[in-house]
Amino acid sequence: VQNQQGGSGGTITAGYDFKANKEI
């Protein structure tokens, strides 16, 4: 979950994008 910070990272973060946006 370290990629959470880099929401606009790439493909691996794409899955966490939804979670990251909800947390913020």
Q: Could you report the per-residue pLDDT of 9-22, keeping only the tens digit for each?
A: 555 555 555 555 55
pLDDT at 15: 57
pLDDT at 22: 58
Instruction: Tell me how far apart the alpha carbons of residues 8 and 20 are, in angstroms, rounded to a whole number.
Output: 10
Helix (H, G, I), strand (E, B) or coil at 15: helix
User: Is the entire prediction scored with pTM above 0.75?
Assistant: no
Name the pLDDT band for 4 (thresholds 50, 70, 90): low
Q: What is the mean pLDDT of the chain?
A: 55
Do residues 4 and 16 make contact, with C-beta atoms less than 8 angstroms apart? yes
